[in-house]
């Protein structure tokens, strides 16, 4: 027998959680937050939706929207359009700063005059097979939240119901999981896993983790430009500082997806201690010497350092 939620009746606890999304989603424009149906969904929950060429709202959703481009979105679109990273970013993206975690991300740039997505045509999406994951999720959204008494964040889905979208009136039933599979969202999420985990950790921990690493720059480079990250990894002292085995070096030298995964796993190692990339003994020694020098400096009296008493 279906429970209350499956019949679209959220209990009060779920309603509260979804209302709290408003606070969690300050990065989202208000018009997006206002169309979230107050029902917390799991993969097994049902929804009614169908989108097809010929529906009276066809293309209404492909304008005036903020589409954050994930590393795997960029990879697919670059390949589709046969563009180098810089050329793609110049032509199609606008940098944007996620407030929580202070991370720069690229947004798909809508046409300034019409508000239309650059890939939208009268016949529909001209990059449909390679459309971004945000377009694949729609009309499902995903949220991450942490209860006050919990140590881990939990994720769940919610339904986006906008007046202009008439797909909700179509009598086609799906579970959320079926919809995600049909749209290819699951595969995109797998590819974006390390990037997503880093974003979540950064948003939760903020800049509490101190590092000399220019995190924002590294994050944007790893997200948007594998060729540049490769130049950094192989053209600097990186390989002398981190333990990267020969097989991994050979793979990331030529495989952009492997390089992107490596880059985010490395960032998680450096910032959050994930046991992935270790520091070489030589680099460790240098770090110890530097720390010892700093400790000596800190112990110096103002007179020692030439300061005024
Ligand atoms: S990428 Fe395609 S599906 Fe997504 S907003 Fe643009 S035209 Fe629409
Ligand atoms: S049904 Fe919704 S998603 Fe499909 S074209 Fe219409 S507005 Fe866009």
pLDDT digits (tens, 9 = 90+) for 145-188: 666 566 666 778 889 888 999 999 999 999 999 999 999 999 99
pLDDT tens, 232-274? 999 988 998 888 999 999 999 999 999 999 999 999 888 887 7
Ligand found nearest the CA of 61 = 2
The residues lining ligand 1, judged by C-beta closer than 6 Å to any ligand atom, are 62, 117, 119-120, 125, 127, 131-132, 135
- Which residues 6+ apart lie within 8 Å of 41 measured at CB? 5, 47, 140, 156, 157, 158, 159, 176
**308 in a domain, yes or no?**
no
Q: 191, 212, 243: which is the final residue of a domain?
A: 191
Asked if residue 143 lies in contact with residue 156, where contact means CB atoms within 8 angstroms, the answer is yes
- CB 215: neighbour CB atoms within 10 A? 19
138 plus 73 within the same structural domain: yes
Residues 110 and 58 in one domain: yes
Domain final residue pick, 136, 160, 191: 191
Q: Answer yes or no: are the C-beta atoms of 106 and 69 closer than 8 Å.
A: yes
CA 62 to ligand 2: nearest atom: 8
Q: Which domain holds residue 179?
A: 5-191
What pTM, to 2 d.p., does this model score?
0.81
Please check whether residues 178 and 218 belong to one and the same domain.
no
Residue from 50, 67, 167, 171 to probe ligand 2 pocket by mutation (most atoms less than 8 Å from CB): 167
State both tokens at 305: 């350092």
- 191, 215, 242 - which closes a domain: 191
Q: Among residues of the chain, what percentage have pLDDT more than 90?
A: 51
Contact 154, 144 (CB under 8 A): yes
For 76, the token pair is 């697919």
Q: How far is CA 128 from CA 68, 76, 104, 150, 274, in A?
A: 16, 11, 26, 39, 36
- Judge if 171 and 229 occupy the same domain: no
In a domain, 141, yes or no: yes
Shared domain check, 287 and 223: yes
27 plus 63 within the same structural domain? yes
Contact 160, 141 (CB under 8 A): yes
Ligand 1 pocket test: pick from 135, 184, 188 the residue with the most ligand atoms within 8 Å of its Cβ: 135
pLDDT digits (tens, 9 = 90+) for 57-92: 999 999 998 899 999 999 999 999 999 999 999 999
The answer to whether residue 279 sits within a structural domain is yes
CA-nearest residue for atom 5, ligand 1, is 62
């Amino acid at each position: 027998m279906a429970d209350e939620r499956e019949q679209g009746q959220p209990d009060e606890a779920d309603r509260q959680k979804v209302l709290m999304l408003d606070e969690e989603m300050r990065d989202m424009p208000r018009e997006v937050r206002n169309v979230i149906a107050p029902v917390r969904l799991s993969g097994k929950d049902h929804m009614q939706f169908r989108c097809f060429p010929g529906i009276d709202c066809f293309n209404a959703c492909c304008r005036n929207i903020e589409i954050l481009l994930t590393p795997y979105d960029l990879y697919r679109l670059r390949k589709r359009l046969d563009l180098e990273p810089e050329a793609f970013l110049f032509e199609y993206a606008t940098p944007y700063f996620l407030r929580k975690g202070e991370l720069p991300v690229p947004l798909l740039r809508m046409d300034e005059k019409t508000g239309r997505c650059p890939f939208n045509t009268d016949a529909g999406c001209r990059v449909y097979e390679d459309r971004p994951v945000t377009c694949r999720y729609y009309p499902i959204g995903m949220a991450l939240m942490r209860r006050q008494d919990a140590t881990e964040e939990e994720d769940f889905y919610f339904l986006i119901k906008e007046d202009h979208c008439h797909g909700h009136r179509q009598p086609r039933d799906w579970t959320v999981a079926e919809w995600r599979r049909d749209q290819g969202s699951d595969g995109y999420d797998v590819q974006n896993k390390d990037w997503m985990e880093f974003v979540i950790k950064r948003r939760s921990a903020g800049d509490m983790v101190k590092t000399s690493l220019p995190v924002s720059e590294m994050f944007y480079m790893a997200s948007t430009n594998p060729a540049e990250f490769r130049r950094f990894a192989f053209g600097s002292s990186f390989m002398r500082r981190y333990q990267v085995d020969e097989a991994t070096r050979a793979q990331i030298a030529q495989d952009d997806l492997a390089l992107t995964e490596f880059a985010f796993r490395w960032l998680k190692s450096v910032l959050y201690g994930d046991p992935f990339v270790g520091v070489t003994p030589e680099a460790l020694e240098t770090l110890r010497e530097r720390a010892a020098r700093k400790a000596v400096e800190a112990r110096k009296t103002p007179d020692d350092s030439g300061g005024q008493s």
